[in-house]
Structure 1
Amino acid sequence: MHQNNQPVEWVKRFAGIVPEYGPVLDLACGGGRHGRFLMELGHPVTFVDRNVTGLGDIAGLDEAVIVEADLETGSSWPQQLVQTKFAGIVVVNYLHRPHFPMIVESLTAGGVLIYQTFAQGNEKYGQPSNPDFLLRENELMEYFGKDLDVVEFEQGFFQEPKPAVIQKICACKNY
């Protein structure tokens, strides 16, 4: 996890292909570093997390919607988002496979998914180490590549921001 408030390079790299001024979902946002970055680029952002205390400084801004929701119980996908479509969805350092179908469903035509999280092998370097929270080899590509056009996919060991085994995908919904 980043120790600062800067977005990860993967998000910065692909933020420019999110349709201009389109609404973005920052799923399991934590302190919102990725959504904040996308707001600076002109996007209205919906921030979703079970703990939104780190978002108090942006509460009330017109371009920020804050949804406090436990993403892993009940229906799991926040009820407030069921009918909402996004031009971009950002997920970093979070994995809950039951969300995968709703991530695809929630993208608009032309919408962009930017996803980065830990993969098998990361247990050698730290948390998470539970296999339930680690992607299997090629898992993001195999799932999202069925319904989305993959812009880029990477997986493997990365030294920065800390040693970890990570998978990353950027993909577009072109229908």
Structure 2
Amino acid sequence: MKLSIDHGSSVPLYLQVEDLLRKLITLPEYQNGKLLPNETEMANKLGISRNTLRQATNKLVYEGLLFRKKGVGTIVTRPVDSKAKNWMSFTQEMKSKGVDVVNYDIELSWVHPQKGVAEFLSISEESKVLKMERLRGNKEGAFVYFVSFFHPRIGLTGTEDFSRPLYEILQQDYAVV
């Protein structure tokens, strides 16, 4: 694929680059964890500043299509494959069965992820992630224990109102789900 953009177009350069990157990451040579070309090289080939390239790249990082790894480069993320068409959260599923969910305990902490979690999230073990432990159940008592780790790019701070359903927070406040 030829890397080029139209400098004379009325479409802003960063949007053209964003579109180019979207096409680039669909190519077999860049899919499933492969590195994109070097930032400086790509900016020079396109005749744009690194800041313009970063602006386009940041959008795709935010969308979860790309991931930056310090000292390595920009990596195309692996797509999440799910057969679930109508995924329901735990709260939604329990409500559909007539069960009101109660949070008995919620513990939040910023931790260095264990190797398996770091690999799953494609981040370094030196990064910090928000870890949430929840003890949940119904009015009779607790019956399930959840542990969740959140990728730093989501932007959770740990100060959110976690009495609300997690999916609601992620969807409405962070446009993630």
- TM-score normalized by structure 1? 0.27
Higher strand fraction (1 or 2)? 1
Instruction: Identify which of structures 1 and 2 has the higher relative contact order when contacts are C-alpha pairs closer than 8 Å and 6+ apart.
Output: 1
Structure showing greater Rg: 2
Name whichever structure is richer in helix by fraction: 2
